Amino acid sequence: MPRKTYAELRREVAQRYPTGQTAGGVSVDDIVQLRLQNSWESHLEIAREMSVVMRADMAAYDQDASKFTQSLGCWSGFHAQQMIKAVKRMRGTAKGTYVYLSGWMVAGLRNRWGHLPDQSMHEKTAVADLIQEIYTSLRQADEVALNDLFRALKSAQTEEARDAAIAAIDGFETHVVPIIADIDAGFGNEHATYLLAKELIKAGACCLQIENQVSDAKQCGHQDGKVTVPREDFIEKLRACRLAFEELGVDQGVIVARTDSLGAGLTQKVPVSARPGDLASHYNKWLKVEPISDANPIREGELALYQGGEFVRPLRLPNGLFPFREGTGRARVIEDCVANLTEGGADLLWIETDTPNVDEIAGMVAEIRKAVPNAKLTYNNSPSFNWTLNLRKQVREEWLAAGRIKASDYPDGNELMKADFDATDLGREADQRLQRFQTDISARAGVFHNLITLPTFHLTAKSVDELSRGYFGEEKMLAYVKTVQREEIRRGVSAVRHQHEVGSDLGDTFKEMVSGERALKAGGHANTMNQFAAE
Instruction: List, by residue number, the catalytic residues.
Output: 220
Reported as type and span, the H/E element at residue 349 is strand 348-351
Question: Pseudo-torsion of CA 145, 146, 151, 155, nearest 10°?
Answer: 110
Please provide the DSSP assignment of 156-192 as one string: --SHHHHHHHHHHHHTPPPS---EEEE-TT-SSSHHH
Under a CB-based contact definition with an 8 Å cutoff, are residues 256 and 378 in contact? Answer: yes
Strand partners, 11: none
Q: What are phi and psi of 422, to 5 degrees?
A: -60, -40
Question: For the chain, what's the residue count?
Answer: 535
In terms of C-beta density within 10 A (0-12 exposed, 13-18 middle, 19 or more buried), how is residue 61 classed?
A: buried
Q: Which of 329, 458, 483 is nearest to 387 (CA)?
A: 458
Under a CB-based contact definition with an 8 Å cutoff, are residues 69 and 256 in contact? Answer: no
Q: Using CA atoms, how far apart are residues 359 and 368, in angstroms rounded to an integer?
A: 14
Name residues whose C-beta falls within 8 Å of residue 9's C-beta, 6 or more positions apart in sequence: 32, 35, 36
Q: Using CA atoms, how far apart are residues 140 and 38, in angstroms rounded to an integer?
A: 9
Under a CB-based contact definition with an 8 Å cutoff, are residues 271 and 285 in contact? Answer: no
The SS3 of residue 272 is coil
Please provide the DSSP assignment of 103-145 as one string: HHHHHHHSSTT-S--SSS-S-THHHHHHHHHHHHHHHHHHHHH
Q: Which of 115, 263, 238 is nearest to 183 (CA)?
A: 238
Give, in degrees to the nearest 5, the angle at Cα 268 between 263 and 271: 110
DSSP tag of 517: G
